Amino acid sequence: MKVGTIEAALDHIHDGSTLMYGGFGGVGNPPTLINGILAKGVKDLHLIGNDAGFPSIGIGKLVSQGRAKTLLASHIGSNPVAGKLMTEGKLEVEFSPQGTLVERIRSGGMGLGGVLVDVGIDSMIARNKQTVEVNGQRFLIEPALTADVAIVYAKKADTYGNLVYDKSARNTNPLVAMAGKITIAEVDEIVEVGELDPEEIVTPGVFVDIVIKSQGVDWKWVWE
């Protein structure tokens, strides 16, 4: 039984934690967990995810309120606050092409050391990065990505942590779920083991440590 409380889940997220999150433009970000992190007052986070969300939507709330120290993402254009913080030197941003980023996350979840890519091989992207030659072609070595805690959002879970996603809200969540030392899944519905259609399960429960019930996007968290 992996079902827990929001309080127990937040016990794993501290100042300075490396936090990986699923989602794409806010869709698929876990709202209850993000609101809880805000209310708890966690700061200096090292965020890893596809994007910076929007200023008041999804992971963008953490970025906009200055809770992140660094951000590794494929783009931040949807959140102008992130760009402002970056230019002011208040947020350190590392950009990674989207395909490369998700492969680095997948590699982390699979226990691999990294991936070989040719994107940016002769550009400023290659600065200070290792290269390797394979079959006469040069590649950049992009290291795998893992996190202290991974937070994901799913439609359904059983009590063992098997996850079913809702359409496009699936996005990067299955990859992120594999790459955390601790993975916390926020879900809309929790059922007993055996109630999920095995053909619908995308993330096996072996990757999930804690399951919490989502309170929805409009839920107001009060940290005591």
Q: Parse the chain into domains and list their residue ranges.
A: 6-112+144-213
Instruction: Place 127 in a pLDDT band, splitting at 50, 70 and 90.
Output: confident
Mean pLDDT computed over 209-224: 69
Measure CA 105 to chain center.
Answer: 9
Of 163, 50, 148, give the one whose Cα is nearest residue 108: 148
Of 157, 164, 147, give the one whose Cα is nearest residue 200: 164
Of 52, 17, 34, 20, give the one whose Cα is nearest residue 146: 20
- Is the model's pTM score more than 0.95? no
As a CATH number, domain 6-112+144-213 is 3.40.1080.10
Mean pLDDT computed over 136-160: 97
Q: What is the pLDDT of residue 217?
A: 60
